[in-house]
Chains A and B, each alone.
Chain A
C-alpha cells in the first residue's frame, strides 16, 4: 500500500510537471505579443521593449522556462498585467469558487448516478430500467454549454426561479446575515452545479448499473439472503458496498471532463471561478494568467485523481494489506 501511494504521488508530480511544461511552451509559442494589445496603442516601441524586458519576455524561451519553474516551485506564478495583480492572488480567490462549484457538481452527479444505476440494476429489464437508460443516453448527447444556456434561459429568465448568474447577489450580498449569505451563494450555485451534475450522472449511472449487475449474482449476496437479511439490506449493504468500488475509480477519471464542463458553465452563468478568469485572460492575451490557470487546473485534476485513487485503495480491504 505504501509503495502504491508513493508511486501514485510520483506519477502525479510527473503529470504536474508535464502540464506546466506543455502549457508554458504552447502559450509562449503563440503568435502575437503580450504587449501588442495592452495599453495605449500609441505606446512607443521603446516603452514596449522596456516592458518586455521587465517581464522577461525577451529572453530565450528555455531560460524563461527555467526561471518560470523556479518561480512556480516557490509559489509565484507571475504577474497578470490585465488585472494588475499577481497571478497567485487572483487564482487564490478564484480557485475556491471553482472548487465549490465542482465539488457540488461532483457530489450531486455521483449521488444521482449511483442511485439511478443501482435502481436500474435491481429492476433490470423493467420498463423503468429501459426508459432510464434511454433518458441517460439522451443526456449523454447534450452539449454542456447548450444545457447551461437552456437552463439559464428556462429557470432564470422565463421562469425566474433562480438568479441569472454570478456567485452572489451583487447588490445586497454584503449586507446579509451569515445565514443569508450562505443561502444566497447556494441559490446561485444550484443551477450551474445541477447542469454539470446531470450530464456526468449519465455515465456514472451506466457504470454503476453494470457494476451492481456484476455483483448481484455473486455467492456472498446469496449468503446474505440465507442469513435472513431483508432484500433492501442485502442490496444496499452487501451488494452495493462492493459495487461502489469500481465507481470510485470514476471519480478520478471524470475530473478532466468535469473541468472542461465547468469552464463552459462558469462562462454561461458568470460564475467567477477559474474558467471565467481564464476566458478573460485569453481575450486579453495575458500569458502569465493563462499559463497559471492551465497549470493550476492541471494540478487540481492531478490531485483530485490522486485522492480518488487513494480513496479506492483505502476502501477495498483487499488492497489495504499491501
Chain B
C-alpha cells in the first residue's frame, strides 16, 4: 500500500507497583501508513491509551517501556532517542490530541499563546509571526473571529471549541502523524460529529496520518480505513473497516459489535459482554478473553493464541481460526458459570 510511517514492534509497557507489575501493553505490533487513518479500539483497561502514550514516550515512572520494544518512525527507533532528539519529534513530527480538552489546556495562558508556543519551540520565529500562525490555525480549525479568540483563556471557551484549539495546537507544525486519544469522548454527541468531520477535513488538507484511539466503534466506522482491536494489553484483531464490520472474527470484536445499538433495530435490552476486563497485574492464563468468550474450550484455557491470518490483511488472535467448527457450539461464558455457581 502506501509507505509505512510508523512501525511499532513488540511494544511492552509495564507499570511497577510495590509488589506487582501491571503489563499494560504486552506485545503490541502494528504499523501506520502514510496518509492513513487507523483506529485502535478497546474498552478501558485494554492498554490502548498507554500504547499511544508510549509512542511519544510520555509514560511516566513507575511506567516504563521495556527493552526489546521498537517504535520506528522516519528511519529512527523512538525508544532509543535521547531527550533532545525526542523533543524535536514531539509536537513537530508526531502530535497528540488528548481526551479532555478542559484539562489539556493550561488555564493561565491564553489559547493563542499555547498554540504559538509550539511554533516557537520548533522553529526560529519571532513572537509576532508565531502569533500570526496561531491565529491562522484557529481559523483553519473553524473557530470564528480567531484573532479575538486567540486572546482568550481556555475557561472562556466551550468544550467543542477547546478541542478545536487542541487540534490546532497539534497540527500547527504540520506533523506527519497525529495520535488522537479519545478526542470526542468528553464532548456532546453533536459536537463529536463536528470534531470528527473536522479531523477528516484536515487530513484531506494536510495529508497527515491519524491514529485514532477510541472505545466507540461507531466513531471508528465513520472515519478510519483500518481497525485494530485491543484486549488484555494485546492486539486481538486487525482488519480493514469494511471487513471488520462485515466479517469480524474474534469473539471479543463480535461482542463489541453486538453491543452497539443500531438505528432501525428494535431490541428490548442492550447486549453486553459478560464479565469485566481483567486487571493488568494478572492477565489470565491462555487466551486472555477465554472466561468471557462464548466459544472457548479447553485449549483456550492453557494455550495463548498467536495472531492467525484470516484473510488479506485480516488477523485474529483466536484459536477458532484453526478450529472454526467450534463456533457452532456457543455456551455460557465461564464468568457466568462461576458466578451462578457462587
Contact residues of A with B, CB < 8 Å?
218-220, 222-231, 238, 241-242, 245, 315-318, 321
Q: For the complex, would chain A's binding face be called helix, strand, loop or mixed by DSSP majority? A: helix
B153/A219 in contact, CB under 8 A? no
What chain B residues lie within 8 Å of A238 (beta carbons)?
Answer: 106
* C-alpha spacing A257/B213, complex, angstroms: 53
What chain B residues lie within 8 Å of A223 (beta carbons)?
Answer: 96, 98, 104-106, 166, 169
B118/A242 in contact, CB under 8 A? no
* C-alpha spacing A220/B106, complex, angstroms: 5
Q: Mark B91-132, 1 if CB is under 8 A from A, else 0.
A: 110011010100111111100000001100110000000000
Contact partner, B90, options A225, A245, A315, A318, Cβ 8 Å: A225
Given contacts A228-B121, A241-B108, contact A321 B87 (CB under 8 A): no
What chain A residues lie within 8 Å of B107 (beta carbons)?
Answer: 220, 242, 317-318
A-B contact pairs, 16 of them (CB 8 A): A220-B103, A220-B104, A222-B98, A222-B104, A223-B104, A226-B90, A226-B91, A226-B95, A227-B121, A227-B169, A229-B117, A242-B107, A317-B108, A318-B107, A321-B153, A321-B155
A318/B153 in contact, CB under 8 A? yes
* C-alpha spacing A219/B154, complex, angstroms: 13
Which of A219, A229, A230 has the most B CB atoms < 10 Å from its CB?
A219
Q: How far is the CB of A38 from chain B (nearest CB, A)?
A: 58
What chain A residues lie within 8 Å of B169 (beta carbons)?
Answer: 223, 227
**5 residue pairs, one from A and one from B, having the closest CB atoms:** A228-B91, A219-B103, A228-B90, A227-B91, A220-B106
Interface residues on B, range: 20 to 34
B155/A317 in contact, CB under 8 A? yes
Contact partner, A225, options B58, B88, B105, B156, Cβ 8 Å: B58
B106/A228 in contact, CB under 8 A? no
Q: How far is the CB of A265 from chain B (nearest CB, A)?
A: 36
What chain B residues lie within 8 Å of A242 (beta carbons)?
Answer: 106-108
Shortest Cβ distance from B96 into A: residue: A226
What chain B residues lie within 8 Å of A245 (beta carbons)?
Answer: 108
Cβ of B334 under 8 Å from chain A: no
Cβ of B235 under 8 Å from chain A: no
Sample of 19 more A-B contacts, CB < 8 Å, known A219-B98, A227-B121, A227-B169: A218-B103, A222-B58, A226-B90, A226-B96, A227-B91, A227-B118, A228-B89, A230-B87, A238-B106, A241-B106, A245-B108, A315-B108, A317-B107, A317-B108, A317-B153, A318-B107, A318-B155, A321-B153, A321-B155
Cβ of B83 under 8 Å from chain A: yes
Contact partner, A219, options B89, B95, B100, Cβ 8 Å: B100
B105/A229 in contact, CB under 8 A? no
* C-alpha spacing A228/B87, complex, angstroms: 4
What chain B residues lie within 8 Å of A227 (beta carbons)?
Answer: 90-91, 117-118, 121, 169
What chain A residues lie within 8 Å of B118 (beta carbons)?
Answer: 227-228
Shortest Cβ distance from A229 into B: residue: B121
* C-alpha spacing A263/B225, complex, angstroms: 74
Shortest Cβ distance from A239 into B: residue: B106
Q: How far is the CB of B126 from chain A (nearest CB, A)?
A: 19
Cβ of B56 under 8 Å from chain A: yes
* C-alpha spacing A81/B67, complex, angstroms: 83
Shortest Cβ distance from B115 into A: residue: A227
Contact partner, B106, options A224, A226, A316, Cβ 8 Å: A224
Shortest Cβ distance from A318 into B: residue: B155
What chain A residues lie within 8 Å of B156 (beta carbons)?
Answer: 321
Q: How far is the CB of B235 from chain A (nearest CB, A)?
A: 24
Given contacts A241-B108, A317-B108, A317-B153, contact A228 B103 (CB under 8 A): no
Contact partner, B104, options A219, A228, A230, A317, Cβ 8 Å: A219
* C-alpha spacing A318/B154, complex, angstroms: 9
A228/B105 in contact, CB under 8 A? no
Contact partner, B105, options A220, A315, A316, Cβ 8 Å: A220
Which of B92, B104, B169 has the most A CB atoms < 10 Å from its CB?
B104
* C-alpha spacing A213/B199, complex, angstroms: 35
Contact partner, B56, options A226, A241, A315, Cβ 8 Å: A226
